[in-house]
Amino acid sequence: MSNTKKGLIREIYEYRHLLYSMVARDLKGKYKSSYLGFAWHFLTPALMVIIFYVAFTGIGIRSSEIDGYWIYLCIGMFPFVFFRGNLGQGSGCVVSNAGTIKKMYFPREIVVLSQVISTFVMFLISYLIIVSMIIVTGFHLSIYALLFLPVILLLSFLFTIGYVLFFSAIVVFVRDVQHFILAVSRVILWTTPILYLASDVTGILETIIWYNPFTYFIEVFHSIFFFGTAPEMFHLQVCLILTVTALVVGMLVFSKLKPRFAEVL
């Protein structure tokens, strides 16, 4: 590890209290005026899971031939919301913290870390709800497959940090990039195998979904929780390559542009 990276890690650690306060602000701020407050982070995904369960089992809606479709849908939907949310909102996190950046010095990477950590906490809460519901409904979970969960969670977290570093730095200088990202993110749902099985797709859509980096992460989550099997090694390898690439490119671009943030903002 280079001295520059060691220095950055040391500096972030020195400002860890600021990071903690920014994460706490993000987690508490959304529901700060409500009576239930932080509990909504549990209630919101719980209500969504229950609605999916009732819709696809209780009242007989059948939009897919997948057995346990509501589970398949939930397993893919929540990590997708994490990825897409950071793609859209994360790309503007530096700009949205312009006031703080211009007023005081701190490692600018903390803005990105606070954004990704707070959304990752909400993602983990959602998955706790899903796993609880899966257990309650008697759906089989493979202990062996769950051994791969820490790996994909770590890769998902680091991959997201990488692309948020990249896009948030670019958006400071070219604001249109965020608008473009928001427009594209609206159609990404249909090119990610969440509503359908990747194996069922043919034609041009089959090519498109495998060029979508989110597909590989979602497929690993499906393997672990829905199919109860070890993820395909190829999928894990692609996730690793995407993560390393995103981190390296994101860190390089962010470190190159961050000295001018305060000036441009």
Residue 11 has pLDDT above 80, yes or no: yes
Sign of CA dihedral 115, 80, 217, 257: negative
Give the model's pLDDT for residue 61. Answer: 45
User: What would the pLDDT profile of 126-161 be if each residue is shown by its tens digit?
Assistant: 888 888 888 888 888 899 999 999 999 999 999 999
Question: Average pLDDT, stretch 27-51?
Answer: 66
Per the structure block, which two tokens stand in for 208? 């498109």
Report d(CA 117, CA 29) in Å as an integer. Answer: 15
Closest CA to 23 of 108, 112, 155, 123: 112
pTM (predicted TM-score): 0.89
How many domains are contained in the chain? 1
pLDDT, greater one: 65 or 251: 251
Give the model's pLDDT for residue 60. Answer: 47
User: What would the pLDDT profile of 50-65 be if each residue is shown by its tens digit?
Assistant: 776 666 665 444 455 6
Give the model's pLDDT for residue 140. Answer: 82
Report d(CA 113, CA 12) in Å as an integer. Answer: 10
Residue type, 77: M
Please report, rounded to a whole number, the percentage of residues in the chain having pLDDT higher than 70.
86
pLDDT tier, 39 (very low <50, low <70, confident <90, very high otherwise): low
User: What would the pLDDT profile of 70-118 be if each residue is shown by its tens digit?
Assistant: 888 889 989 998 999 999 889 999 999 999 899 888 999 999 999 999 9
Using CB atoms within 10 A of its CB, is residue 2 exposed (0-12), middle (13-18) or buried (19+)? exposed
Report d(CA 71, CA 131) in Å as an integer. Answer: 10
Task: Give the domain range for residue 236.
Answer: 3-264
DSSP secondary structure string, 125-177?
Answer: HHHHHHHHHHHHTT----HHHHTTHHHHHHHHHHHHHHHHHHHHHHHHH-THH
